[in-house]
Amino acid sequence: MKKLLLKIIYHTLALFARFYIYRTKPVVIWVTWSVGKTSCRMIIYQVLQKYLKDKTIYTSPKNFNSELWIIFSIFRIEKYNPSIFSLIKIIFVVIKKTIFSHRYYDILVLEYWVDHPWDMDFLLSIIKPDISIFTKLDYIHAENFSSKEAIWQEKFKLIKATKKKTYLNNDDEFLSTNYNSIKIEKEFFNTKLLASKYEKHWASIFSKIIFDWKNIKTNILWKENHLYIELAYKILLDFWVDIVWEQFLELQNQPGRFSIFPWIKDSILIDSTYNAWPESMKVMIENTIELRDKLFPDYKLWFVIWDMRELWDVSENEHKKLYKLVEDKDLIVSIWKETKESFPEEIKNFTNSHDAWVYLKDFLLSKSDKYLILFKWSQNTIFIEETLKQVLKDKSFEKNLVRQDKIWIEKKKYLSNFW
């Protein structure tokens, strides 16, 4: 009975969302695939907001990227406590906004992923994008799909439904292989024409990126983010805005996505604690190594890695491949069961965040060496940001970590292996 009621509520909300989009006709930009969706969405949103002063642009500050949450994004609903009564209350809010509210935004930037076959059909029944963006596919949310190809086919429906133009990551094998079969206007990004390097000025680290005659200095690190900046400037051209030169582009980085914090004895902590899938693990490790080699050559590398979750039948193989990426580095600490089973016995392993941070802190306090330390993990009862929190040099940085609001803190106390 509850499932039936939820289905009725979902479809009722979808009906009003569809009507609202039809009535207000915003330009819809839709980001999907697997890796880097939120970072891509937020960078595009911030760049468009910076330059399209005559447009109202909206994206949810929350990570709303499933069927119900997409509807919330359309109506700019940013607070929700899951319950039937809350949903019924939201129905009345949605009805009021659909009928009486003015146009909230000119451009709506959304992020979707699919968890089951046919999810995309439901989403497309609500809203179809003017511009679609495909980052890079990874083997995640795969429990209900038979293969990566099955996930790709489900998401390929989005390309077919795109009204104007699609942007595709040239580094994705499915997108590059099927490029010629895509009939709408299309363009690759990540074509290897972007050059970037890290620079250090006093205690701050910046990136310098060059592409299409643009020379941009930014506070945003990580090469994947640089690709999304390049993409954002390409999208500006769709709105007839061309920025020839940019002195400095300051953007807000998303928590848990390659943020850098100082620690005692000048060691440096790299916060990549939002999640961890095979592809994101690989690129984050590569970027950490590059950062060390270019700016901190006298620092040792330390990787604090927790299990990658929801990999199902490929989990053991992917964890073994992960170890190959870090096996020759100075120090490795793994946490939880799958890394323990897939990594060699001599690798220090812990069963919870608390023991990991105690070891980490004691070790660093006892050594004179300086370390560049990457914290990388996968969500789902694993909250390694709580380990990172314990070794921050300045406690005021805690607010910049992922999942620090009151709801998440309470949730962690029941789900986490830290407390």
Rounded to the nearest angstrom, the gap between the alpha carbon of residue 256 and the centroid of all alpha carbons in its chain is 9
Pull the structure tokens for residue 244: 């020839």
Report which secondary-structure segment, H or E, holds 50.
helix 37-51
Q: What's 291's domain CATH number?
A: 3.90.190.20
Q: With 0-12 CB in 10 A as exposed, 13-18 as middle and 19+ as buried, what is 297?
A: exposed
pLDDT in tens, the chain (419 residues): 667 877 888 888 999 999 999 999 999 999 987 788 889 999 999 999 999 999 999 999 877 656 788 899 999 998 877 777 888 888 899 999 998 888 899 999 999 877 778 888 888 999 999 999 999 876 655 567 777 777 778 888 899 999 999 999 998 888 888 889 898 999 999 988 899 999 988 778 999 999 988 899 999 998 899 999 999 999 999 999 998 777 799 999 888 888 898 877 788 989 888 877 888 889 899 999 999 999 999 999 999 998 887 777 788 999 999 999 999 999 999 988 999 999 999 999 998 877 888 898 889 889 889 999 998 876 666 677 777 777 787 888 888 888 887 777 777 776 655 44
Q: Give the integer Cα–Cα distance in Å for 305 and 280.
A: 12
Judgement on whether residues 270 and 223 belong to the same structural domain of the protein: no
Q: For the chain, give the number of residues.
A: 419
Burial 27-41 (b: 16+ CB within 10 A, else e): bbbbbbbbbbbbbbb
Neighbour tally for 183: CB within 10 Å: 8
Specify the CATH number for the domain of residue 83. 3.40.1190.10
Tokens standing for residue 111: 């992020």
287 and 357 Cβ atoms separated by less than 8 Å: no
Domain co-membership, 221 together with 283: no
Co-location of 313 and 344 in the same domain: yes
Q: What are phi and psi of 269, to 5 degrees?
A: -105, 130
CB 153 within 8 A of CB 173: no
User: Does the residue 250 lie in any domain?
Assistant: no
Q: Which stretch of DSSP H or E encloses residue 8?
A: helix 2-24
Residue 246 lies in a domain: no
Helix, strand or coil, per DSSP, at residue 298: coil
Q: How far is CA 366 from the centre of its chain?
A: 35
Three-state DSSP at 125 gives helix
Containing 32, the helix (H) or strand (E) segment is strand 27-32
Q: Is residue 251 part of a domain?
A: no
Q: For 252, how many CA atoms within 13 A lie in the half-sphere containing its CB?
A: 12
Q: Is the same domain home to 231 and 270? A: no
Q: Look at residues 69, 63, 83 and name the one whose alpha carbon lies nearest to residue 13.
A: 69
Same domain, 81 and 178: yes
Same domain for 232 and 142, yes or no, is yes
| 108 domain residue, yes or no | yes
- The pTM score is 0.90
Looking at the fold, whether 404 and 313 belong to one and the same domain comes out as yes
Contact status, residue 191 vs residue 213, Cβ threshold 8 Å:
no
Question: What is the phi/psi pair of residue 93, to 5°?
Answer: -65, -45
Last residue of a domain, one of 238, 267, 297: 238
Residue 402's nearest CA partner among 257, 198, 191, 215 is 257
d(CA 378, CA 277): 7
**For the chain, what is the domain count?**
2
Contact 304, 333 (CB under 8 A): yes
**What local confidence, expressed as pLDDT, does residue 380 receive?**
61
Answer whether residue 60 is part of any domain.
yes
- Please check whether residue 187 is in contact with residue 234, taking contact to mean a CB–CB distance below 8 angstroms: yes
Which of 175, 208, 238 is a domain's end point? 238
Domain boundary among 171, 206, 238: 238
Both 193 and 313 in one domain: the answer is: no
Cα gap 46→61, rounded to integer Å: 11
Nearest to 40 by CA among 280, 200, 383, 215: 280
So what's the pLDDT on residue 403? 81
Q: Does residue 244 belong to any structural domain of this protein? A: no
For residue 120, is it within any domain?
A: yes
- Asked if 95 and 147 sit in the same domain, the reply is yes
User: Are 305 and 340 members of one domain?
Assistant: yes
**Facing residues of 332 across strands?**
303
- pLDDT (0 to 100) of residue 419: 45
Write the CA distances from 416 to 50, 193, 378, 382, integer angstroms. 39, 43, 12, 6
- Both 210 and 313 in one domain: the answer is no
Same domain assignment for residues 122 and 6? yes
Q: Give the SS3 label for residue 94.
A: helix
What residue numbers bound the domain in which 287 lies? Answer: 259-415
pLDDT of residue 139: 60
Q: How many CA atoms lie within 13 A of 374 on its CB side?
A: 32
Q: How far apart are the first and last CA of the chain?
A: 37
